[in-house]
Amino acid sequence: MTDCKFANDAEVIDFARTHSGVFQAGANLGVEEIGDGNINFVYRVYADDGTSVIIKQALHYIRIIGEGWPLSQDRIRIEAEALQQEALYCPDLVPRVYHFDAARSAIVMEDIGAHENLRHALIARTHLPLLAEHLGRFAADTLFHTSDLYLDAHRKKELVGRFINPDLCKITEDLFFWDPYCDHERNNINPLLWDEAEALWQDAPLKLEVARLKHRFLTCAQALLHGDLHSGSVFACAEGTKVIDPEFAYFGPMGFDVGSVLGNLLLNVAGQAELPGDAAERAAYQAWLLETIAGFWNTFAGRFGALMEEKTQDPSLDLALYRDAFLAELLADSIGYAGTEMIRRTLGLAHVADLDAIEDPQRRALAESRVLHLGRAMIMQRGEFGSIETLVAFVRDH
Ligand code: SR1
């Protein structure tokens, strides 16, 4: 355990000046703490001429909980290395890492200030025309190029070793696949949803399918995942998209990342039904979200299929029939993991503003109840949808 926390603003500024290489000599620098995530501290250091950098620091505990929930600081090395891996394949979609400092448990990286947190943008009903294409390409390129379809067998296993991430994986194992399915003290449940939560805790067929998904999460080292690809880990604007915060990165099932994107867009679809604002505008935005969901998957599957065709290294995996089978299985997995994301954001510890911003508890319960029903159906029927269009039609009807 290292107590490496910056003691004051001057230390943060000095660190940024020394390690970023972007500021003019003698520039007058200021600093603000901008972290609104659950786990780390994030600082923005800026000069009068508009130059700025971000410093992210990982302490030995979870920020929102405190010292009562310790957490390995190795997560910040994993984040730096994951950002560097992602940059090999989609440099335009991730912030540039200027410096990683093990002693300070800190990364100095590019400030993506012109982009807005995707969750806030979705709640404000912002149309983002490039989002589907960018997220589809990010998922396809990062997952394909870190899988056995592309990597040499020795390199793949060497990378698996670099991204063993037990503390962060344990958070996901508990918060996604256990807490919401029992009366856990960490849960955060709208009292109006209590009967539905109790019914879910007794739902043996659902718990069986969640156990299957959890076991895949524990054992299926398909590719280097981002590991926490929710709307808060994406920053977007009309011109571009940046994916940040891969501290949960590890080698797991590809459908977990793809499903996190699907699940978070669907959480916003459900939230829009009850958020304030003009009904026609909210309905139009829900339609855009569903188009974005289809566009995301179709970009992903098109790009991933093309990469499989062009770049698969192992001849035993380079078969047209295997490509189709692989993508069909991945769609089913993704829909299942999306369902687990939706349920855990409704009953579990870490809620999302897409639902929590609905102030009236009755209206919030309506949206939450729809999320639970959709999430359950997506987990139970994940192998039956067969196409993203069928899933979108199902969501429209339910
Ligand atoms: C205590 S950490 C809660 C959540 O925040 C992270 O961003 C992950 O999504 C995690 O599940």
**Nearest atom, ligand 1, residue 232 CA:** 7
**Nearest atom, ligand 1, residue 176 CA:** 11
* Category of 295 on φ-ψ map: left (φ > 0), alpha (ψ -120 to 50) or beta: alpha
Cα–Cα separations (whole angstroms), residue 216 to 200, 336, 366: 21, 11, 31
Please name each of the domains of the chain with its CATH number: 9-110 (3.30.200.20), 116-397 (3.90.1200.10)
Q: What is the pLDDT of residues 145-158, one digit of tens each?
A: 999 999 999 999 99
Q: What is the mean pLDDT of the chain?
A: 96
Q: Calculate what percentage of the chain has a pLDDT beyond 90.
A: 94
Query: What's the pLDDT band for 32 if we cut at 50, 70, 90?
Result: very high
Distance 30 CA to ligand 1 centre (A): 29
pLDDT recorded at residue 1? 52
pLDDT above 70 for 2: no
Mean pLDDT of 356-381: 98
pLDDT recorded at residue 114? 86
**Nearest atom, ligand 1, residue 69 CA:** 1
Query: What's the pLDDT band for 37 if we cut at 50, 70, 90?
Result: confident
pLDDT recorded at residue 38? 78
Cβ contact 107:99 at 8 Å: yes
Q: What is the pLDDT of residues 283-293, one digit of tens each?
A: 999 999 999 99
pLDDT above 90 for 36: no
pLDDT recorded at residue 66? 84
Distance 386 CA to ligand 1 centre (A): 30
* Category of 57 on φ-ψ map: left (φ > 0), alpha (ψ -120 to 50) or beta: beta
Distance 38 CA to ligand 1 centre (A): 6
User: From CA 336, how far away is CA 36, in angstroms rounded?
Assistant: 28
Nearest to 12 by CA among 51, 43, 35: 43
Cα–Cα separations (whole angstroms), residue 368 to 123, 194, 279, 287: 15, 11, 19, 19
User: From CA 198, how far away is CA 275, in angstroms rounded?
Assistant: 26
pLDDT recorded at residue 39? 87
Of 20-24, 255-259, 339-343, the least confident:
20-24
More confident residue, 294 or 2: 294
Give residue ranges with CB within 6 A of ligand 1. Answer: 38-39, 62, 171-172, 175, 228, 230, 350
Residue nearest to atom 8 of ligand 1 (CA): 228
Q: What are phi and psi of 63, to 5 degrees?
A: -50, -50
Residue nearest to atom 2 of ligand 1 (CA): 38
Mean pLDDT of 327-344: 99
**CB atoms closer than 10 angstroms to residue 177:** 20
Residues pairing with 117 in the sheet: 235
- What is the secondary structure of 132-178 as a DSSP string? HHHHHHHHHHHHHHTSTTTS-HHHHHHHHHHT--HHHHHHHHHHHHT
Nearest to 115 by CA among 239, 290, 281: 239
pLDDT recorded at residue 65? 84
**Nearest atom, ligand 1, residue 349 CA:** 3
Distance 146 CA to ligand 1 centre (A): 24
**Best of 69, 79, 171 for a ligand 1 pocket test (most atoms within 8 Å of beta carbon):** 171
Q: What is the pLDDT of residues 225-254, one digit of tens each?
A: 999 999 999 999 999 999 999 999 999 999
pLDDT recorded at residue 130? 98
Q: What is the pLDDT of residues 164-186, one digit of tens each?
A: 999 999 999 999 999 999 999 99
User: From CA 64, how far away is CA 246, in angstroms rounded?
Assistant: 18
Distance 64 CA to ligand 1 centre (A): 10
